[in-house]
Every structure is written in C-alpha cells, then in structure tokens.
Amino acid sequence: MHEFLVSALAFIVLIGIMVVVHEFGHFAVAKLCGVRVESFSVGFGPRLFGIKYGDTDYKVCLLPLGGYVKMTGEGATDLPIGTGSDSGASADDPGAFSSHPRWQRMLIGVAGPASNFILAFVAMIFYFGWINEVPDIKSATLEWVTPGSAADQAGLQPGDVFRQFGNVKNPDLETVVDLARSDANQTVPIAVDRNGKIVQTSLQVPDKGSKSGFEMSQTGMFLQFVHGPIGVDQTVPNSPADKAGLKGGDSIVAVDGHAFHTVDPLLDYLQQGQGKPVTLTVERNGATLPPTVVHPSMQDSQWRLGFMAVLPADPPMHQRPLPFAEAVNESTDFCAENSLLIVDVLRKLITRQASVKQLAGPVGIAHAAGQAAETKYWAPKFGLAAGISLNLGILNLLPFPILDGGLILLLLIESVMRHDISIVIKERIYQAAFVVLVMFFVYVSFNDVAKLSVFSHLKP
C-alpha cells in the first residue's frame, strides 16, 4: 500500500507539472497573439476555486491530472489545445482562435511542446549547476574491463583498485573519472592493487569519441559504484529473461561467474558475447536457484536479456555543482541523447524492430516515479522529470489527429489548399483518432499492469 500511495502521488505531481507547463505554453503564446483565453485550468472536472482576471478564469479543478486552456472560438481543430468547442463564437470576433492567421494558430500549437523542451533543458541546467551529485566513494575499483579495450591492453582486470592515476595517489572514484576525461588522447602512468600486490602499468586514454563528450566506457573501464547484485524489478513479456523464468524480486548474483553490480557493465559483457547464451546465478527469496541459461536477443541495436533492473541502493554522494557553461553543455547533451532515444524507439516501432509491449504507459511511469521519489538523492528525480517532459513534447508533435502535431498538419494542409477543411470532416477525423488513442492507452496500461511483480506468479 505504501508503494502504491507513493507511486500515485509522485505520478500526479509529475504529470500535473508537465501538463500544466505544456498548457501554459499554449496560453502564453495565445495571449501574445491576441487570442481570448476564457479559462486556464489546473486539473479537470468541477471547479474548486480560482480567480477571474480580465477575460480569463484561472481555476483549480477537482481531478489533479494535468490541465487545459479554453480559448474563444475553439472548434474541432483545437481539441489538442482546449477541451471543447465554442460554436457560438462569431467568425468575425477578432479575439477568437479561428479568426487568427494559420501561422499564429500553428505557433500556438507548437508552443506547448516547446515549453516541455524548455522545462527539461532548464531543469537539467539547474541540476548540474546547483546540485550535480557525484559518488562519494573513497576508492576506485574496476567492476569490468572490456576485452580488447585500452584498459585491457594496459593489463587491467576486474577487481583492481587504483592506487595511482597520473600524478594522483590513491584517487577516489570521481577523481579517476575526472583525470581520465582531462587526459584524453594521452598516456598516463597508473598503479593498481591486485589481491594485495601493486601492479604498475600505463593507460592510453582514447580521444573523445562520443558526440556528447568523454565516456569512461571508451577506455573499457567500468568502475564499481555500488555493492550487491543486480536486482530484477520486472521482465519484458516474451523476452529471454521472461522465458528463462526470471521474476520481479530476483537478484542476479553472477553472469558466467562474473559478479556484476550495475547494468552497464553487464550490457557491455553481452555485446562482447554477440548473443552467446549466458549462465545466470540467481537468488530468489534468499535461496540460490539452479543455474539459469539465457539466450540474449537483439533489442534496440544491443544484445539484451529483457528485464528492468531495480534502482541500486543509493551510494554515498556529495554535491559538486558545475560552472554555468559546463552545466549548459551537460544539459544540452542530456536533452539531445534522450530526444534521439525517443525518436529511435518510434522508428523501431514503425519498422517492427521493437514491440509496443516494451512501452511504458501511466502505470509504468507511476512505478518509475515512485521509485525515484523513494531515493534520497536528486539525480533520479531530475532525470526522470526531464525525460518525461521531453517525451511529452515529442509525442505531442507527432502528426496524429488530437495531438498538437495533428493540428499543425491540418493547418499546413489548409494553407496548401488555400481554404479550410470542413468542420464536419475534422470532427470525424478527431472522433476516430480519439477512439484509437483510447484503445492504445488501454492496451499499454494493460501491459504495464501485467509487468508488475505482483502478477508475476500468473506468468507461464
């Protein structure tokens, strides 16, 4: 019950903020264009309280799941922005939405998604510039070394503890990351403690090969951030993990005898195997199960097992805010990477390289929001909020009727045709789109519920 309440509350707050910001974008540009906004509502349903200022009723309604703006002259074309029609508005009313030029109506339509992009960008600038949590781990231990990488060529092995990196003695984890980033494309002397014996070597740090900057994985080094095994939160239906019998609540103690603590080095290990079967050592309810053989499958251009991991126990962290320019760069990289990820997922859905079952709907988002809310640090909260805001903005730009992108598409078609599409035709288009959207919403929500660990005993 506690988990349900936390997830529900986190979902309401998170989605409420995202949608209100989205609608505020429509509202602000509508005002700038001279469109009369009759109401700006936080929530839906019966009005609880509010204030009337000028032409606009600013109100709070009973159901706290987002919000909407209502503009004079809204018709079927405006369903993505408002909540209904105002057929009684005069076509000659200069304050009516329908009386304004199409380019202004398109600008109002795109303002909502743009507000979500701005929110994500500003939120991550604030995080990196004023918070920026980094692990407070006094020693740097290698969890995994990629075969054939620079680290492997230097003779480094999993379990090695750094005693020197460059000119720094006994560096902590964050120091090793910072030094590797600053020494890109250079050879640095290092020393590691391997089972009580000091091993001296040198590492050729690769140049910045990623568009988003330097990543430690480019060196082939994966540092250990947390202790304990990887926890399984839920499995993807019909995935290799699901077919092998893994369930929510399981712990993956080892993979082919290798102890992994986080998902990234495990993914790197699977890529090296190129789809070869792996043997998992799994614990369930404190008992070790017989060895489990899993055949990885190609998903999202990577070999994967098909499960969602439990957020690892929070490692010790401290705050180290970045200078403003660096915070802007980090925020730009975050937004670019997450935006491209969404586009890639949509592309795979269209080309049938991914299944709709892998998408997360409201229940999945609520589950993730609850997990982020339960953590004591800020990184999961800001990352999830910014990611959802980007998702909301991009999805609303899709050229599908009832979304902002659908409104813009129809306005573009009307611009080419040089006359308005019949209101009756538009209403039929939006009615059909609404039915499709509701069916999709129900389908994704059903898959979300089916993934919950409470239903894992129902799986074959």
| pTM (2 d.p.) | 0.67
Q: Is the pLDDT of residue 217 over 90?
A: no
Q: Model confidence over 48-91: pLDDT tens digits? A: 999 999 889 999 888 877 788 888 876 544 444 544 444 444 45
- Please indicate, yes or no, if residue 71 is contained in any of the structural domains: yes
Of the three residues 309, 340, 358, the one that is the final residue of a domain is 309
- Specify the pLDDT at position 79: 43
3-state secondary structure of 63: strand
Q: In the predicted model, what is the mean pLDDT of the chain? A: 82
- Token digits for 119? 């929110």
Give residue-wise pLDDT tens across range 94-115: 888 888 898 999 999 999 999 9
Q: At what angle do helices 362-374 and 2-32 cross, to 10 degrees?
A: 110
Q: Is the dihedral of CA 321, 340, 182, 227 positive or negative?
A: positive
One domain, residues 8 and 82: yes
DSSP 8-state class, residue 360: -
Angstrom distance (rounded) from CA 356 to CA 364: 13
Last residue of a domain, one of 290, 309, 328: 309
Q: What is the DSSP string of 103-167?
A: HHHHHHHHHHHHHHHHHHHHHHHHHHHHT-EEE--SS-BEEEE-TTSHHHHTT--TT-EEEEETT
Residue 437 pLDDT more than 90? no
350 band by pLDDT with thresholds 50, 70 and 90:
low
- 371 and 455 Cβ atoms separated by less than 8 Å: no
For the chain, percent of residues with pLDDT exceeding 70: 83
324 located within any domain: no
Examine residue 408 and state whether it is found in any structural domain, yes or no.
yes
Task: Spell out the residues 6+ positions from residue 40 whose beta carbon is closer than 8 angstroms to its own.
Answer: 23, 24, 27, 56, 57, 58, 59, 67, 69
**The total number of residues written for the chain in this structure:** 460
Is 333's pLDDT higher than 60? yes
Q: Is residue 322 part of a domain?
A: no
Average pLDDT over residues 17-25: 88
Tell me how many domains the chain contains.
3
DSSP 298-355: EETTEEE--EEEPPPPPPPEEE-PPPHHHHHHHHHHHHHHHHHHHHHHHHHHHTTSS-
Q: Calculate the CA 347 to chain-centre distance.
A: 17
In a domain, 375, yes or no: no
Q: Is 70 exceeded by the pLDDT of residue 404?
A: yes
Based on the fold, state whether residues 9 and 61 are members of the same structural domain. yes
**78 and 157, same domain (yes or no):** no
Q: Tell me how far CA of residue 408 lies from CA of 251, 343, 392, in angstroms.
A: 48, 19, 16
Q: What is the CATH number of the domain that holds 193?
A: 2.30.42.10
Report which listed range, 114-123, 289-298, 312-321, 362-371, is most confident: 114-123
Q: Reduce the secondary structure of 242-263 to three states and give it as a string.
A: HHCCCCCCCEEEEECCECCCCH
Q: Is 17 a member of any domain?
A: yes
Average pLDDT for 214-227? 85
Q: Are residues 211 and 149 in the same domain?
A: yes
Q: Are residues 200 and 169 in the same domain?
A: yes
Shared-domain flag, residues 10 and 107:
yes
Domain containing residue 8: 2-127+388-458
Asked whether the predicted pLDDT for residue 456 surpasses 80, the reply is: no
How far is 364 from 152, CA to CA, in rounded Å? Answer: 39
Q: Which of 239, 274, 309 represents a domain boundary (last residue)?
A: 309
202 torsion bin: left (phi>0), alpha (psi -120 to 50), beta (else): beta
> Which pLDDT score is estimated for 396?
87
- Could you tell me if residue 30 is inside a domain? yes
Domain check: are 16 and 50 in the same one? yes
pLDDT digits (tens, 9 = 90+) for 139-154: 889 999 999 999 999 9
For residue 274, how many other CB atoms are within 10 A of its CB? 9
Are 373 and 457 in contact by the 8 Å Cβ rule? The answer is no
Please write down the long-range contacts of 88-94, taking CB distance under 8 Å and 24 or more positions apart: 93/36, 94/34
For residue 315, tell me if it sits in a domain.
no
Token pair for 309? 């991991």
